[in-house]
A and B are shown apart, each in its own frame.
Chain A
Amino acid sequence: MAAELHVELVAADRSVWSGEATLVVARTTSGDIGIMPGHQPLLGVLESGPVTIRTSEGGTVIAAVHGGFISFADNKLSLLAEIVELADEIDVQRAERALERAKSDADAAAERRAEIRLRAVAVH
């Protein structure tokens, strides 16, 4: 059995996903980072972007993360963010509408959020 690490994906108001994984890829402020079991303890600031979790069952979980932190210690990985959405939960049409609206309102933050949602779905 391959080595595993425990992942907790936590939003401000709920626990989004938790389980065992073999690889987690996330984007920190200084670039993409891949974490496998036994990684050295790490605490980083996340950029908004999709997070990919390869579960030990061989599946893939993708989530759109809007800002937040990644912390890894004792083979336990926590991804904290104010807003976390699993790719399965994202309503593509709604995100597209939000993107258009944000573009017309010139709301950079909202535009970025919508873009990340769509990207997470596309990777999925």
Chain B
Amino acid sequence: MGAQLRVYKRRIQAVTATKKITKAMEMIAASRIVKAQRKVAASMPYATELTRAVTAVATGSNAKHPLTTEAEAPTRAAVLLVTSDRGLAGGYSSNAIKAAERLRERLAGEGKEVDTYIVGRKGVAYYGFRERKVEEFWTGFTDNPAYSDAKRIAAPLIEAIQKETAEGGVDELHIVFTEFVSMMTQNAVDDRMLPLSLDEVAEESTRKGEILPLFEFEPSAEDVLDALLPRYVESRIYNALLQAAASEHAARRRAMKSATDNAGDLIKSLSRLANAARQAEITQEISEIVGGASALADATAGSDK
């Protein structure tokens, strides 16, 4: 076998092995999307009921709460960035990071300092490489988050927002995550969680044509709101984590599908080249034999004379 043909054969083998791996990853991701979507759906009743309750307190009472009132001159904001632990998911993490960068710029433009909190090894690596300060980070659960993870993340954020700004607290709480729209579409979005703009929440529910009854609060509107808002933040973070997980799997499936397709194309063109090389080798061998034979014939013909 010629040297060139051997090189092609070896490359075809390598690409075939890669293709098998990417195909396997694609199928694993595809099966996990369904699971992740089911988890998103399962968390919906709690989230909607909680939102309803928050809306009820907000519209049904004049309660003022530090988590719902906007600071007059906000000077510091916390940003929670949700990325993935593992790569090989196309532009998933980098899109989320880019969205966070845009948000940082916007907040900086408004004269606010930005504290960064990160979920996922990819985001941590990005900030670590640039030696930027990260307040806190969490890793190890991005592909299958549990409610306890959301609680763990929410705790320091709620603490930070309840602290006075002068003592290192924050005025605003933003979250950047990848919204799961459909199997094919996932968008990196940023969202302000706190302070909750109650008007917006109230508007939304009135637009739905829902008239909220006048509630009796047990023990009091303030206490209910006190207990409600941290849970609301946790549930929002949980929902964001779940959507991000579903998006991560969808992005990985898509990336791995195109990797598999590319590997297939590569194998095809490489085997064409290998065939051509083999044919060229055969042609050369034949012409060498023919050439040798005719030279021999010429030589013997000459000696006959």
Contacts and interface: CB of A to CB of B under 8 A. Distances in A.
A45 B46 contact: no
B259 interface: no
Contacts of B218: 28-30, 33, 42-45, 70
A12 B238 contact: yes
Majority secondary structure, B binding face: helix
A12 B46 contact: yes
B45 A82 contact: no
Contacts of B216: 40-43
A45 B147 contact: no
Contact of A43 (B39, B42, B56, B147): B56
Interface in A30-83: 30, 33, 40-45, 68-71, 73-74, 78, 80, 82
Contacts of B219: 28-30, 44-45
B147 A71 contact: no
Contacts of B45: 8, 10, 15
Interface residues of A, number: 26
A9 to B, nearest CB: 10
A41 B49 contact: no
B215 A73 contact: yes
Contacts of B42: 13-15
Contact of B224 (A8, A12, A45): A45
What's the interface size class on B, roughly?
20 to 34
A82 B223 CA distance: 18
A82 B235 CA distance: 9
Nearest to A43: B215
Nearest to B227: A45
B53 A69 contact: yes
Contacts of B224: 43-45, 69
B214 A41 contact: yes
A116 B147 CA distance: 20
B233 to A, nearest CB: 13
29 contacts: A10-B45, A11-B46, A12-B46, A13-B43, A13-B238, A14-B42, A15-B42, A29-B223, A33-B218, A41-B215, A42-B215, A42-B217, A43-B56, A43-B57, A43-B60, A43-B224, A44-B218, A44-B224, A45-B223, A68-B231, A69-B50, A71-B52, A73-B56, A73-B213, A78-B49, A78-B52, A80-B46, A80-B50, A82-B231
Given A11-B46, A12-B235, 18 more contacts: A13-B147, A14-B43, A15-B42, A28-B218, A29-B223, A30-B218, A41-B213, A41-B214, A42-B217, A43-B53, A43-B215, A43-B217, A45-B219, A45-B227, A69-B50, A69-B227, A71-B56, A82-B147
Interface of A: 8, 10-15, 28-30, 33, 40-45, 68-71, 73-74, 78, 80, 82
